[in-house]
Amino acid sequence: MWPIAKQTLKAAIRYRFVVAMAVALLVIVFGIPLLVKSDGTAKGTVQLVLTYTLGSTTALLGIASLWMGCGTLAREIEDNVMQMVAVKPVTRLQVWLGKWLGIMLLNATLMVPTGLAIFFLINARADSPELNEFEKAKLQNEVLVSRSSVREPVRDFSILRQRAYRYALLVAEAKTSYTEAEQALRMSVTGPEHILSFRKDYTRLVEQSESDPSAEILAKLQELERDAVRISKASYEIILPGQSQVWEFQIDPGIVDEINQKPIYLRFKFNADDEYDPKSHTLWFSIGEGTSKRWPPEGTFKEMRRGSSAFHEEQLPVGIVPDKGEQKGLVRVHFMNRNSERPIIFLMEDGPMILYHDGGFGMNLFRGLLIIYFWLGLISAIGLMASSFLSFPVATFMSLGILLISASTGTLEQIIDEGGITGVNHETGRKDESSMLDAAAIFFAKGAVKITTAIWGYSPVDSLSDGRTITWATLFWAFFAIIVVMGGMVMALGAYMFHRKELALPNPTASMN
């Protein structure tokens, strides 16, 4: 396997592929900073440079990996050189893995200097004498840093039908006192289950479904439950005028003293039901109510105008995290909507979070580049898999098709939302009747979205440009999802097809036996 890997790398070097790629990467790394137009701040410029440089590097190396993956095997099969390797005492799996390893060596050869160049270039920019101390500090604290995030615990919006049914019956009784079991039931229900208890038809539908579990009854029941979940989530996310919301972030008490040495940040994004373009809105925040540390002083709120539909980071004072007693590490964020008309919406997936310093930019960049490296591994495996049984041009076409589908998640999600690909009722935004074609499309779209999320969901570019930590755990799960699971499946299929391949067929259109 190793000699084949070395030979694959040697081929890329001898055919000047490495030189061409190195020149292209040099142009990206040193050229993009000259072209980028930012918001005028040092932070904005560095964030854009990081985003574009890493994005372009990923795209270029991705295409190169695909090209190499498709070319190295398919061309050797077409040129019959592979016959000379296959008659030697190596298994087809070893040949396949050797080729993959060779491409990964090539990627490493290109990525290491590229990563180092990005690191030193960005640091040189941050140290530029043109920047004042404030900008330098902002860069160091908000971009060229590794900051961990703390979110609220995930809220439970699940529905247990039997529990919801029993609770709805209990509510219907309108009792004033409860037994111990009833009290336990009351304490265990989730938000959606609580909402269902106000729907008189819910208990009736549950009873009907037990005696007559027809599709119609079940569909109605599920619709009720979906509505309850939606309402429950909305009541958490939407803050109406005059209402407030409190989020609690628990930081590990063991690191509070260390965290309090540097500023922490409140990161959030909100929507305000703006009809067209995002607009600025006034927000009122208070930190640390009911704890030993407060900001601003008791009974007041920090007022700020911020644009909707964009992420914002508010620097909180150094030492704001409570460092004593039971509330050690607890950061309580209170938001008040004092607007007269507009509701303010904090979607859970964008939910507010606390960012705190936990490391340097270099190691974070290293972890981010490793995730990109995993992507390249998967892309090259897809190319190799396709070329295991297809000619070079067809394999390239197929691999590009796979990548394009995986990148078009918007279309796939739309198919799922609209309940298929045919005839949508524009009033409801959903299909009236589903066909077999719709069912097949939804099945395919759901599978593709799941796979795509497992691959691209670990995107390190945003985290790096926002100075957010890519944890070792994230790195491990990225490796597991991208290389072990997805890569493993692609490799298994590719190696099997290559094992079946007759390498001396007289022409490429002849089939396998």
CA dihedral sign of residues 433, 435, 439, 441: negative
Place of tokens 């990109």: 372
Q: How far is the CB of 17 from other proteins (least distance, A)?
A: 11
Q: Please, what is the Cα angle at 40 between 39 and 42, to 5 degrees?
A: 105
Q: How far is the CB of 262 from other proteins (least distance, A)?
A: 54
Residues in the chain: 513
Q: Which stretch binds other proteins (CB under 8 A): 82-90, 112-120, 186-194, 239-247?
A: 82-90
Binding status of residue 20 toward other proteins by CB under 8 A: no
Q: Which two tokens stand for residue 185?
A: 């039931």
Separation CA 511–CA 105 (nearest Å)? 33
Candidate residues 80, 188, 282, 414; the one interacting with other proteins per rule CB under 8 A: 80
Q: Which stretch binds other proteins (CB under 8 A): 74-82, 198-206, 283-291, 416-424?
A: 74-82
CA distance 368 to 474: 10
Residue 468 DSSP symbol: B
391 in Cβ contact with 78 (< 8 Å):
yes
Of the pair 457, 508, the CB lying nearest other proteins is at 508
Which residue from 38, 41, 91, 453 is in contact with other proteins, where contact means CB under 8 A?
91
CB of 68 to other proteins, least distance (A): 15
155 binds other proteins (CB under 8 A): no
Binder to other proteins among 179, 261, 428, 511 (CB under 8 A)? Answer: 511
- What angle is formed at CA 449 by the lines to CA 444 and CA 452, rounded to 5 degrees? 120
Residue 422 sits in the site that holds other proteins (CB under 8 A): no
**How far, in whole angstroms, is CA 152 from its chain's centroid?**
18
Local structure of 271: helix, strand or coil: strand
Give dist(CA 49, CA 55) in Å, integer.
10
Q: Shortest Cβ distance from residue 218 to other proteins (Å)?
A: 46
At 462, list the tokens: 């945003």
Binding flag, residue 30, other proteins (CB under 8 A): no
In the complex, what is the shortest distance from the CB of residue 446 to other proteins, in angstroms, rounded to a whole number?
Answer: 33
Report d(CA 453, CA 432) in Å as an integer.
29
Q: Closest CB to other proteins among 90 and 493?
A: 90
Contact status: 397 vs other proteins (CB under 8 A): no
CA–CA distance, 403 with 384 (Å, rounded to integer): 14
Q: % helix / strand / coil in the chain, to the nearest 5?
A: 60, 10, 30
Residue from 22, 60, 90, 121 touching other proteins (CB under 8 A): that is 90
Q: Does 428 bind other proteins (CB under 8 A)?
A: no
| Residue 505 touches other proteins, criterion: CB under 8 A | yes
State which of positions 430-489 bind other proteins (CB under 8 A): none
Member of 59, 81, 169, 407 binding other proteins (CB under 8 A): 81
**Which stretches of the chain bind other proteins, using CB under 8 A?**
3-4, 7, 10-11, 14-15, 79-81, 83-91, 502-506, 509-513
